Structure 1
Amino acid sequence: MDERQLRVLRELGELGSVTAVAEALLVTPSAISQQLRLLQRSMPVPLTERDGRRLVLTPAGQALAGAAIDVETAFARARHAVDAFVDEPEGTVSVAAFHSAAAAFLPLLLRGLAGPGHPQLTLADEDVAQEDFPRLAREYDVVLAHRLDHAPPWPDTVAVTPLLHEPLDVAMPEDHPLASKRRLTPHDVADQPWITVHDGFPLMATIEAVAAAANRRLDIRHRINEFTVVAEVVAAGGGLALLPRWTARPHPAVVLRPLGGVHARRHVDALHRPERTARRAVRTVLAQLKRDAATIRSGRSDVPGPGRGRER
């Protein structure tokens, strides 16, 4: 038994014929008859009977048709509740982000959507391996994720809103000998100690590409995922590191230099299940994230050069 079958039964009781019901519901008489047969299969007593050439309701059919009014009313209320939820501008939207994106985007997102008439945000940090980001879309409305240029695309299970295509630069102390160079190659940096992320995290593939391009194994001294900590260790002389140009927090004692010869960029994307964008509040958050991405991109220098530290 479903809502459509109950509506057909109710209309039959009111209109008095299969033909009239078909005309009212803009379907064929055979479609109406099929719905009545399906409904009858789920009932232990007859719902209709012949009165000459007409099909009419039995007493059981009349009782069920009366109950159908309450069912249709309940369904209408349910649809209205869903419509209100979908169109609610101040609905709650959950957003998860990996650490550097969280530091760059979430304050802007909070300020951009502050005040009445905007979605209510619930925020979380999630620093996971690249292949685990799509699974987070089950738990959160929007997930800020990153992947390298040459990494596989995100699976079809999630929709993707691109935010940034961000360069990864070599970070070093401002007095490091390589700081005088405008652009670096893998051979320039291959004999230096390195600070990098743990295995399985996206930036590790770029480190491996540097080693392959220089045809030598890099001296990896430290494994640190959090970029603010990485910058402090770089400033203290712990080694070189790759830092994202726009989303990592600037450090006054650290400079960035572009790296050529390898794919040294990452995509920062907002992942979400396609059905989530049926909600007005989720669409509002995605639109604000795109505006924030433009702010982040325009607020930093595109190519760091000699004599300059991290651009603010």
Structure 2
Amino acid sequence: MDVRRLRMLLELSRLGSMHEVADALGTTTSSVSQGIAALARDVGSPLLEPDGRRVRLTPAGRRLADHAVTILAAVESARLDLDPAAEPVGVLRVAGFASAVRRSLLPAIDDLQRTHPGIEVRVLEYEPLEAFGLLARDEVDLALVYDYDLAPADWREDHEVVPLWQVEWGVGVPTRDRGLTLADLADRDWIINSRNTADEDALRTLASRAGFVPRIAHRIDALELVDDLVVAGRGVGLLPRGRASRRGVSVVRLRDPGLWLRAYAVTRRGRATWPPLRAVTERLATG
């Protein structure tokens, strides 16, 4: 059903005259008559009946006019929701890795509660491969993801990517071994991420340049558990520098080349103008 015709019917139910409807909608009486006749054909039921020199709504017409109130309100709500100039209102679903949620998203949510209280942000903790799957299925609106400068990801096809920040990474070793180089660690067991492939790609690139193939023994998601394994002498692994690691763990700086984790906010192409999504990504980009 054409919503313009529904509006004509609704106005006729309120005003009682096609002439008055035409004046209210800025059109002609003939256009109103033709529009309501076409609507009757769409629904397969007469909507008007004679009432002396005038017309009135049939029972079916009155029921449809009642529905039109809800339908037109929903259409207007959808228009405002999608209007780039509208005040951001709605539920925004964000999937992201833990560090980005803590460092970027939580402060953004605090700010947005003051500036755009109509936005409700729902947080899901996922690694990049998982987050992209959710984004592809429209189960989330925004993904906070990462790659490494030595293992860059190509996410730009069908996506809009906003760079956020970068953090230097090194190799977490027992403190007694903090003077060792990467090549000195060739015979150690290595710990990599269990839910993403980016750090394994970066590690293999680093190891190749140092002349060895890493022996991957453990696949761990939580950085705190990586710390525990390092302290226990069960392996070494990539860890962020500047983070407060467990006592007994030192994060050795990598040189020539170094290693940097890069964080991004990613949306599906064409979605970024939705006001709640735009407000959140703009806040993340400044942050």
1:5 is aligned to: 5
RMSD of aligned alpha carbons: 4.6
> What is the match of residue 301 of structure 1?
none
> In terms of mean alpha carbon deviation, does 98-107 or 205-214 score higher?
98-107
Residue 228 of structure 1 aligns to a residue in which SS?
Answer: helix
Percent identity of paired positions between Structure 1 and Structure 2: 24
Match of 1:98 in 2: 97
Q: Distance in 1 between matches of 2:201 and 2:191?
A: 14
Q: Taking structure 1 as reference, are residues 113 and 30 closer, same or farther at Cα in structure 2, changes over 3 Å only?
A: closer
1:136 aligns to 2:129 (yes or no): no
The answer to whether residue 167 in structure 2 is matched with residue 174 in structure 1 is: no
| Cross-structure match for 1:228 | 224
Matches within 5 A, 1:41-120: 41-45=42-46, 69-78=65-74, 83=80, 87=87, 93-105=92-104, 108-109=107-108, 112=111, 118=117, 119-120=119-120
Contact 1:10/1:65, CA 8 A, preserved across alignment: no
- The CA deviation at 1:44 is 4.3
| Structure 1 equivalent of residue 265 of structure 2 | 270
Q: 1:240 aligns to what?
A: 236
Amino acid at match of 2:7: R
Q: Kindly tell me: are residues 213 and 36 of structure 1, through their superposed partners in 2, closer, same or farther at Cα, counting changes over 3 Å? A: farther
In structure 2, give the amino acid aligned to 1:271: V
Partner amino acid for 2:284?
Answer: L
Provide the rounded CA distance (Å) in 1 between the counterparts of 2:8 and 2:106.
54
Match of 1:216 in 2: 212
User: In the alignment, what sits opposite 2:281?
Assistant: 286
Deviation at 1:93, TM superposition (A): 4.4
1:126 maps to what in 2?
Answer: 126
* Unaligned runs of at least 5 residues, structure 2: none
- Measure the CA separation in 2 of the matches of 1:214 and 1:197: 21
Whether the 8 Å CA contact 1:198–1:204 is kept in 2: the answer is no
Equivalent position SS for 1:175: helix
Which whole-Å deviations, capped at 9, do the CAs of 1:164-218 have from their partners, x for residues lacking one?
2333322223332535xxxx6x646544442222375321111222243344321
Q: Is the 8 A contact 1:168 1:259 kept in 2?
A: no
2:194 aligned to 191, 198, 207, which one? Answer: 198
Please tell me whether the aligned partners of residues 146 and 267 of structure 1 are also in contact (alpha carbons under 8 angstroms): yes
- Secondary structure of 1:260's aligned partner: coil
Alignment check: 8 A CA contact 1:109 1:288 kept = yes
Q: Deviations over 1:17-59 (max 9, x none)?
A: 9xx68x9259xx899958854652432458699xxxxxx9876
Tell me, which stretches of 5 or more residues in structure 1 are unaligned?
50-55, 293-312
Deviation at 1:232, TM superposition (A): 3.0
In structure 2, the CA distance between the partners of 1:159 and 1:152, relative to structure 1 (3 Å rule), is: closer
Could you say if the C-alpha distance between residues 223 and 63 of structure 1 is closer, same or farther in structure 2, counting changes exceeding 3 Å? closer
1:254 offset after TM fit, Å? 1.4
Preserved CA contact (<8 Å) 2:46 2:61: no
Distance 1:94 1:46 in 2: 43
Structure 1 length as normaliser, TM-score? 0.62
Equivalent pairs, count:
269
Change (3 A) 1:46 1:231: closer
